[in-house]
């Protein structure tokens, strides 16, 4: 945004120039440019004035001389032309001959254009270069310039060569391309192979060189007629982990120990299969012969193959027995132990029983309390799952202190398993791995190391990870970490100062935030950026200066005349100081495969609310931090301190005006999001915001955007996680007026002025168009997985896990503003607390017990926050065919599958319909209505009390066609209701609707409603407006066909309007309203049409003399005023049916208006006079149904919801059983494949295999022991391309011998199973390299394996499955084609 001071002048949009200077919009400037046009002949010269004609004297000598001169000149010209031709021919021959036989000029390669001239401008930071008409230059060496302007047909191309060694760096203050100028680095069909760097230099406070109008400083700029083509080596931009990487790289967590004066021999025993430290001991062999004997005995009792590491602290030889030395020599292979000296440093790492070849040891001589260095022993090992690790021991004297220590780690040895072929990611390049926990700050950067043993889907990283990063589907939800390549061979970067300076918001940032920027203006000729790295770009203190900024460009696709639509492809934008990609008044741009990492402010940013038809395909944004530019970018501190655009001394409210920074900021719904990932933002991952008018530079250009009414573009297969406020947020708008005394808030602050309600052609008079959210993966979002307001909206095929609240819908608004809409969720999976327990660190705030296993884990909000899967706020909503798992309360926290909005003042509709839901046994609280206490407070606001949902088929409560309500709401229950004490609710039959009660004339009124069947159980409502308002609204849910009385805590309102909300044809209630006995009434009925704000069909109510008569004439419009009790009795009855989800009837909103005239000002609470006179016996208007059995077709049809919808997954579970577990009365051992369970009821091994291409399981096999039959099966009985699952029970004979058969199936080595209690193994037969999901889990002692679950992908390329008869559909690519068509 160029200006943020509110409305300004309207920009002038011009169609792209057609034909001027020979440029066609959208056409890539040809790299084989035609030769310059021949210059036209000069105009004829005006002849000089001549003297009067006279006969010319002809002299032969003169004529001969003239002829000879002409002939000589002709010969001279001929020689010149011939020379030029021969020179050109010679130059061409030299160029051709200089090429090898395999080198052929490629017309797709810009640098191979023979019309280019070699250019080496050298290093001159004061030279401002202008490349103009006829100048076509090939930059062949690094250069430093003050500036570079390319214009009027000038061309600059970076030179390249076949082996990619032509590395060129251009340092300059700016590059400006305009009016036919072009800059090329590579081409779309001829990728640049060398390394090209443009470094943009300059400080924000340097005024020695003036700013360039419209661009400022430190930029690459494209004006009208300019061409910018940058195309680096084509490589995968980002992918997913395919195997979980634990913190430290080792599942055991690694080990580090160091101590001073730990005298004697310090010992550690390490498990060779896992890297776990099994034993830590110190033996004071300096003073104690007993310790020497103990060491000897210990070494003799350890099993062969254990890793043993020793380190001397201080001294160890005085009492070290010869027998112990021999044992160390024989079992550990030491050659130094016999010759150890007093205070000599000694360290050893060895494999017990494997001889000298497995031993590494080192010594250092002690002299003057110093060993002059460290005795260091180190050896590398590999776990049974293929993880490489090292074990090190060290010993030294330093500065008079004896130091010894041990280390078990995977430093520089961690290998990442990735989903895609990334074999062209190179050692030395940088990557980033996203957080898979609540805190985005668990994202980590790494440098790649050489890895000769890696497959094409593996890379090795320098150092080790600090945090755990998931690489699998967990509990059915895809939680794999995104891994992105940050490095590219084309780099544009800002040259930065070492710290913040001048007016660059140094109060908020310690680092320099004045980076470079790329800005493209309208009417450019061609812009395509592909495989480019943008580092240190963006200017936090200069609006409109972003890493990539399309500024007022209009249509940049074929609709704008661009035959080659504009795109950004596979950019890496990282460590940005202001956004990532800004699309400003620009339509039809394609942004794909682009990474935005560590950016200040909204990352992928649509600016003014009028940007449409832009497509974001397979982009990744992560670590989006607050910035200063817009109020919505700011955090708490920035929000309250930056006040230069508010009215006078106004202090903004961060919660309602700021704190909305988002990775994808979508300011108009008519844009497309496909396959994107928002992997960590301070506030939201994806935020759809609604501008009621165009803003910023285009303010007033579109006075009414109708974005609220605009249908949603394509939303498919997007994922949001590790965001603090919400994963997906669809709600709210921005303020579109300047600050005034009436509204002192800042222009463009967050505003609650918009509701998404899409209609055909953005016309509210036309039918609604449902917004489809298809395949949303949302996990580890601190507050909300998704918050969506408006309708019609449909969510399907989505997964929500580990969110504070999984999904919450909010309606368009309360009646009468909202006309009623639809919100639906289907085929989705909700997980409360998954097996992804997180990692305590990386700015995660909360750590405590939770989950089904009640183990320590990271938590959303805090330890007591009530986790909910599906939250009901108001409605109406429909939740169907969905699955819930792992919602288990703790002693500190309520965790429920279905819950309600906390402290809710709003209305709730009984049309919240739930059906076909499946709850796994891990759900201990299916629904919860809250109770007084933390978070719920008194739990007594109007919405709290009216909480309700309709259980259509009984899949929630067990009772079909019933309503779940709060236990203490006697307006809606009856004697046959089934109490649900855990829910703080009950389940009731009946028909339910709402009466909207609007009062006028008396402030501070509370309404007390009593059902005549429960006169001692009134429900008190406060109303949703402020207590001081003269008008108040109440919206109780009532059971139909019942009578109620209404009382007040003050004067009766002068006017009451009763509106029938969600009443179906024939529904009725009998209401008695309390008034003083002297009141006179006017009662009328009418129909309210909200679209036109018209009332019609008015009819007066007549009075009758008794309640009995009123009941007889229930169909008539009559009322009865009982002066003895002060009750005005009348019926509210629906005389017309509803259509769809409308709150009102097809005729209009049926209303009853009561106008009361009285001179009495008494409090109108008639309860004492009403009861017991009008008390009735409680009864059920609709009988309670019989309970139903479990629903066989309920729940989501998919067991796993992943970010690869085209891939099918096999859900497999293995539950082994050890003798120790059996002794604790555990009896279950089994293997399941897609819910088909195969039980292991006897001691032995159970093997199940499944076809890795189809998922079809074979008949299970039981082996009572390891014998020749089992050996034969593993060697020849398993089909190729099989997933192999193995479980054990008890301790069958030959238990340890099974390990040898697992190596061909994916185990990295023969595991040591001696002394182990149970095992679970996942393997694959048919591939030379192990699959990333292959693993062996073993239990030992009290540590059980437990239930192991995997979601294994089917039909992967590496399985070498037979080719399918037809290629599987790729819905994402089909949708991309549709978006671009």
Question: Sorting pLDDT into bands at 50, 70 and 90, what band is 1084?
Answer: very high
Report yes or no: 902 and 935 within 8 Å, Cβ to Cβ.
Answer: yes
Angle at 344 between CA 343 and CA 350, to 5 degrees: 125
Query: Rounded distance, CA 638 to CA 654, Å?
Result: 9
Query: Rounded distance, CA 1166 to CA 1007, Å?
Result: 12
Which of the pair, 313 or 101, is modelled with greater confidence? 313
Question: Sorting pLDDT into bands at 50, 70 and 90, what band is 1293?
Answer: very high
What lies within 8 Å, CB to CB, of 753 at 6+ separation is 692, 732, 733, 735
Q: Lowest-confidence range among 309-313, 565-569, 894-898, 1137-1141?
A: 1137-1141
Query: Rounded distance, CA 542 to CA 649, Å?
Result: 24
Question: Sorting pLDDT into bands at 50, 70 and 90, what band is 90?
Answer: low
What pLDDT score does 842 carry?
A: 87
What pLDDT, in 10s, does the model give residues 1311-1355?
999 999 999 999 999 988 899 999 999 998 888 999 999 999 999
Query: Rounded distance, CA 1277 to CA 1273, Å?
Result: 4
Report yes or no: 543 and 517 within 8 Å, Cβ to Cβ.
Answer: no
What pLDDT score does 1004 carry?
A: 84
3-state secondary structure of 754: coil
127 pLDDT more than 50: yes
Any alpha helices (H) in 14-153, and if so which ranges? Answer: 60-98
50 pLDDT more than 70: no
Any alpha helices (H) in 157-211, and if so which ranges? Answer: none
Query: Rounded distance, CA 538 to CA 1258, Å?
Result: 58
Span 1275-1294, average pLDDT: 96
3-state secondary structure of 791: coil
Any alpha helices (H) in 499-578, and if so which ranges? Answer: none
What pLDDT, in 10s, does the model give residues 5-46?
444 333 333 333 333 333 333 333 333 333 333 333 333 333
3-state secondary structure of 139: strand
Query: Rounded distance, CA 190 to CA 156, Å?
Result: 16
Mean pLDDT, all residues of the chain: 91
Q: What is the largest CA-CA distance in the chain?
A: 146
| Single pTM value for the model | 0.92
End-to-end CA distance of the chain: 29
Question: Sorting pLDDT into bands at 50, 70 and 90, what band is 48?
Answer: very low
690 pLDDT more than 80: yes
What pLDDT score does 1328 carry?
A: 86
914 pLDDT more than 60: yes
3-state secondary structure of 786: strand
Q: Facing residues of 1087 across strands?
A: 1096, 1150
Question: Sorting pLDDT into bands at 50, 70 and 90, what band is 73?
Answer: low
What pLDDT, in 10s, does the model give residues 102-119?
457 889 999 999 999 999
Report yes or no: 242 and 380 within 8 Å, Cβ to Cβ.
Answer: no
3-state secondary structure of 1278: coil
1058 pLDDT more than 80: yes
What pLDDT score does 16 carry?
A: 39
Which H or E run includes 729?
A: strand 726-734
What lies within 8 Å, CB to CB, of 86 at 6+ separation is none
Question: Sorting pLDDT into bands at 50, 70 and 90, what band is 3?
Answer: very low
Span 920-929, average pLDDT: 97
Query: Rounded distance, CA 77 to CA 74, Å?
Result: 5
CB atoms within 10 A of CB 1372: 20
Query: Rounded distance, CA 1253 to CA 734, Å?
Result: 51
Query: Rounded distance, CA 525 to CA 27, Å?
Result: 7
Token reading at 212: 């360039």
Report yes or no: 898 and 945 within 8 Å, Cβ to Cβ.
Answer: no
Name the percent of the chain lying above pLDDT 90.
84
What 8-state DSSP symbol labels residue 58?
Answer: P
What pLDDT, in 10s, does the model give residues 176-186?
999 999 999 99
Q: Lowest-confidence range among 94-98, 635-639, 922-926?
A: 94-98
Angle at 685 between CA 681 and CA 690, to 5 degrees: 120
79 pLDDT more than 90: no
What pLDDT score does 1327 carry?
A: 87
Query: Rounded distance, CA 154 to CA 183, Å?
Result: 9
Q: Lowest-confidence range among 49-63, 249-263, 577-591?
A: 49-63
Q: Lowest-confidence range among 244-248, 452-456, 559-563, 808-812?
A: 808-812
Q: Lowest-confidence range among 540-544, 762-766, 912-916, 1226-1230?
A: 762-766
What lies within 8 Å, CB to CB, of 797 at 6+ separation is 774, 775, 827, 828, 1198, 1201, 1205
Which of the pair, 911 or 39, is modelled with greater confidence? 911
Span 283-293, average pLDDT: 97
Find tokens 């009855």 and name the residue.
Answer: 1133
What pLDDT, in 10s, does the model give residues 557-586?
999 999 999 999 999 999 999 999 999 999
Which H or E run includes 326?
A: helix 322-332
834 pLDDT more than 50: yes
3-state secondary structure of 22: helix
Span 481-504, average pLDDT: 97
What pLDDT, in 10s, does the model give residues 391-428?
999 999 999 999 999 999 999 999 999 999 999 999 99
Name the percent of the chain lying above pLDDT 70.
92
Token reading at 1358: 């590496």
What pLDDT score does 1369 carry?
A: 85
Of 845, 771, 928, 880, the C-alpha closest to 1196 is 880
Angle at 650 between CA 648 and CA 653, to 5 degrees: 155
What pLDDT, in 10s, does the model give residues 1119-1149?
999 999 999 999 999 999 988 878 888 998 9
Report yes or no: 145 and 121 within 8 Å, Cβ to Cβ.
Answer: yes
Find tokens 């002794």 and name the residue.
Answer: 1223
What pLDDT score does 305 carry?
A: 96
Of 636, 654, 771, 628, the C-alpha closest to 708 is 771
Token reading at 745: 């808030």
What is the C-alpha R_g of the chain? 39
What pLDDT score does 68 carry?
A: 47
Report yes or no: 109 and 31 within 8 Å, Cβ to Cβ.
Answer: yes
Query: Rounded distance, CA 850 to CA 937, Å?
Result: 23
Question: Sorting pLDDT into bands at 50, 70 and 90, what band is 814?
Answer: low
What pLDDT, in 10s, does the model give residues 530-539?
999 999 999 9
């Amino acid at each position: 945004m160029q200006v943020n001071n509110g409305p300004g002048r309207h920009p002038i949009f011009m169609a792209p120039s057609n034909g001027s200077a020979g440029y066609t919009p959208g056409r890539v400037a040809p790299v084989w440019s035609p030769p310059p046009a021949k210059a036209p002949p000069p105009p004829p010269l005006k002849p000089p004035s001549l003297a009067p004609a006279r006969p010319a004297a002809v002299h032969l000598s003169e004529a001969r001389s003239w002829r000879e001169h002409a002939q000589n000149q002709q010969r001279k010209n001929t020689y010149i032309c011939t020379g030029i031709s021969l020179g050109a021919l010679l130059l061409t021959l030299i160029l051709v001959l200089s090429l090898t036989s395999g080198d052929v000029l490629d017309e797709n390669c810009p640098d191979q254009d023979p019309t280019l001239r070699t250019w080496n401008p050298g290093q001159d930071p004061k030279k401002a270069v202008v490349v103009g008409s006829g100048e076509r230059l090939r930059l062949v060496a690094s250069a430093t310039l003050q500036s570079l302007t390319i214009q009027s047909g000038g061309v600059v191309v970076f030179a390249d060569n076949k082996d990619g060694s032509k590395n060129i760096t251009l340092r300059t203050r700016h590059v400006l391309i305009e009016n036919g100028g072009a800059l090329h680095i590579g081409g779309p069909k001829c990728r640049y192979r060398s390394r090209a760097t443009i470094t943009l230099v300059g400080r924000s406070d340097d005024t020695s060189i003036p700013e360039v109008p419209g661009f400022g400083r430190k930029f690459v700029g494209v004006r009208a007629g300019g061409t910018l083509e940058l195309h680096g080596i084509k490589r995968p931009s980002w992918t997913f982990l395919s195997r979980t990487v634990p913190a430290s790289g080792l599942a055991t967590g690694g080990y580090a120990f160091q101590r001073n004066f730990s005298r004697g021999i310090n010992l550690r025993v390490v498990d060779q299969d896992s890297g776990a430290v099994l034993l830590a001991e110190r033996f004071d062999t300096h003073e104690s012969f007993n310790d020497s004997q103990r060491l000897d005995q210990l070494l003799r009792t350890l099993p062969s193959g254990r890793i043993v590491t020793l380190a001397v602290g201080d001294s160890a030889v005085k009492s070290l027995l010869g027998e112990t030395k021999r044992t160390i020599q024989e079992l550990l292979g030491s050659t130094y132990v016999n010759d150890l000296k007093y205070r000599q440093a000694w360290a050893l790492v060895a494999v017990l029983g494997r001889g000298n070849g497995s031993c590494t040891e080192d010594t250092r001589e002690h002299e003057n309390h110093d060993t002059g260095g460290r005795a260091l022993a180190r050896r590398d090992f590999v776990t049974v799952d293929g993880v490489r690790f090292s074990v090190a021991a060290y010993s030294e004297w330093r500065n008079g202190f004896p130091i010894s220590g041990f280390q078990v780690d995977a430093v520089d040895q961690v290998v990442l398993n990735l989903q895609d072929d990334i074999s062209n990611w190179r050692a030395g390049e940088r990557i980033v791995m996203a957080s898979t926990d609540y805190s985005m700050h668990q994202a980590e950067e790494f440098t790649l190391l050489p890895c000769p043993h890696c497959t094409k889907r593996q890379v090795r990283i320098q150092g080790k990870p600090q945090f755990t990063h998931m690489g699998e589907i967990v509990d059915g939800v895809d939680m794999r970490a995104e891994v992105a390549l940050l490095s590219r061979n084309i780099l544009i970067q800002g040259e930065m100062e070492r710290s913040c300076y001048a007016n660059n918001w140094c109060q908020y940032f310690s680092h320099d935030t004045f980076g470079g920027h790329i800005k493209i203006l309208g009417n450019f000729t061609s812009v395509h950026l592909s495989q480019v790295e943008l580092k240190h770009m963006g200017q936090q203190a200069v609006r409109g200066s972003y890493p990539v900024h399309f500024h007022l460009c209009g249509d940049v696709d074929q609709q704008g005349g661009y035959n080659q639509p504009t795109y950004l492809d596979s950019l890496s934008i990282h460590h940005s100081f202001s956004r990532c990609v800004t699309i400003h008044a620009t339509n039809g741009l394609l942004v794909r495969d682009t990474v935005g990492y560590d950016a200040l402010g909204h990352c992928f940013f649509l600016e003014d609310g009028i940007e449409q038809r832009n497509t974001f395909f397979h982009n990744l944004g992560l670590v989006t931090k607050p910035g200063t530019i817009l109020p919505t970018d700011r955090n708490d501190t920035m929000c309250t301190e930056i006040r230069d655009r508010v009215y006078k001394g106004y202090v903004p409210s961060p919660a309602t005006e700021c704190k909305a920074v988002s990775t994808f900021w979508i300011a108009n719904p008519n844009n497309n999001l496909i396959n994107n990932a928002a992997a960590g933002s301070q506030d939201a991952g994806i935020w759809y915001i609604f501008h009621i008018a165009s803003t910023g530079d285009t303010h007033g250009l579109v006075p009414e955007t109708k974005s609220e009414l605009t249908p949603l573009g394509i939303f498919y297969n997007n994922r949001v996680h590790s965001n603090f406020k919400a994963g997906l947020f669809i709600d709210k708008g921005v303020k579109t007026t300047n600050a005034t005394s009436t509204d002192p808030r800042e222009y463009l602050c967050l505003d609650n002025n918009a509701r998404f309600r899409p209609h055909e052609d953005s016309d509210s008079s036309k039918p609604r168009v449902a917004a489809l959210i298809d395949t949303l993966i949302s996990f580890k979002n601190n507050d909300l997985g998704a918050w969506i307001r408006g309708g019609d909206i449909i969510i399907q095929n989505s997964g929500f896990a580990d969110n504070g609240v999984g999904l919450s819908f909010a309606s368009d608004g309360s009646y009468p503003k909202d006309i009623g809409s639809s919100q639906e969720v289907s085929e989705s999976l909700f997980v409360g607390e998954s097996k992804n327990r997180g990692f305590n660190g990386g700015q995660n705030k909360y750590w405590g017990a939770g989950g089904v296993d009640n183990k320590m884990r990271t938590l959303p909000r805090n330890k007591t926050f009530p986790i909910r899967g599906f939250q009901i706020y108001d409605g109406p909503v429909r939740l169907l065919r969905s699955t819930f798992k792992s919602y288990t309360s703790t002693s500190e926290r309520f965790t429920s599958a279905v819950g309600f909005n906390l402290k809710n003042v709003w209305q709730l509709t009984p049309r919240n319909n739930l059906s076909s839901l499946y709850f796994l046994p891990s759900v201990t609280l299916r629904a919860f209505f809250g109770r007084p206490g933390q978070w719920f407070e008194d739990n007594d606001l109007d919405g709290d009390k009216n909480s309700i949902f309709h259980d259509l088929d009984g899949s929630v409560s067990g009772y079909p066609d019933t309503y779940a309500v709060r236990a203490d709401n006697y307006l809606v229950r009856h004697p046959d209701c089934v109490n649900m004490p855990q829910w703080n609710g009950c389940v009731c039959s009946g028909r339910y609707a709402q009466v909207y009660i609007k009062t006028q004339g008396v402030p501070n009124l509370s309404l007390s409603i009593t059902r005549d069947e429960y006169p001692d159980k009134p429900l008190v409502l406060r109303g949703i407006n402020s207590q001081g308002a003269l008008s108040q609204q109440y919206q109780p849910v009532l059971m139909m066909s019942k009578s109620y009385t209404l009382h007040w805590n003050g004067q009766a309102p002068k006017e009451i309007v009763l509106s029938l909300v969600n009443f179906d044809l024939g529904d009725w209630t009998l209401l008695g309203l309390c008034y003083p006995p002297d009141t006179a009434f006017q009662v009328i009925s009418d129909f309210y049409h909200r679209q036109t704000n018209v009332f019609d069909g008015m009819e007066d109510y007549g009075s009758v003399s008794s309640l009995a008569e009123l009941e007889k004439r229930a169909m008539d419009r009559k009322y009865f005023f009982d002066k003895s009790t002060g009750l005005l009795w009348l019926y509210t009855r629906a005389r017309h049916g509803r259509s769809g989800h409308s709150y009102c009837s097809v005729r209009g909103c049926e209303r009853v208006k009561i106008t009361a005239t009285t001179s009495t000002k008494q409090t109108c609470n008639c309860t004492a006079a009403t009861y017991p006179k009008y008390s009735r016996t409680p009864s059920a208007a609709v009988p309670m149904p019989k309970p139903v059995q479990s629903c066989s077709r309920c729940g989501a049809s998919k067991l796993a919801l992943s970010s690869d919808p085209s891939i099918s997954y096999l859900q497999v579970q293995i539950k082994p059983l050890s003798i120790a577990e059996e002794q604790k009365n555990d009896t279950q051992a089994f293997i399941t494949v897609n819910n088909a369970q195969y039980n292991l009821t006897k001691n032995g091994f159970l093997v199940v295999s499944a076809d890795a291409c189809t998922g079809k399981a074979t008949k299970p096999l039981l082996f009572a022991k390891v014998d020749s039959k089992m050996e034969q099966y593993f060697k020849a009985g398993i089909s190729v391309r099989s997933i192999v699952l193995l479980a054990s029970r008890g301790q069958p004979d030959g238990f340890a011998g099974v390990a040898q058969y697992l190596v061909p199936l994916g185990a990295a080595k023969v595991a040591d199973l001696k002394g182990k209690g149970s095992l679970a193994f996942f393997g694959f037969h048919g591939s030379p390299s192990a699959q990333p999901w292959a693993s062996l889990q073993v239990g030992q002692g009290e540590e059980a394996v437990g239930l192991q679950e995997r979601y294994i992908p089917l039909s992967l390329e590496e399985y070498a499955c037979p080719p399918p008869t037809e290629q599987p559909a790729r819905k994402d690519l089909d949708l991309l084609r549709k978006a671009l068509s």
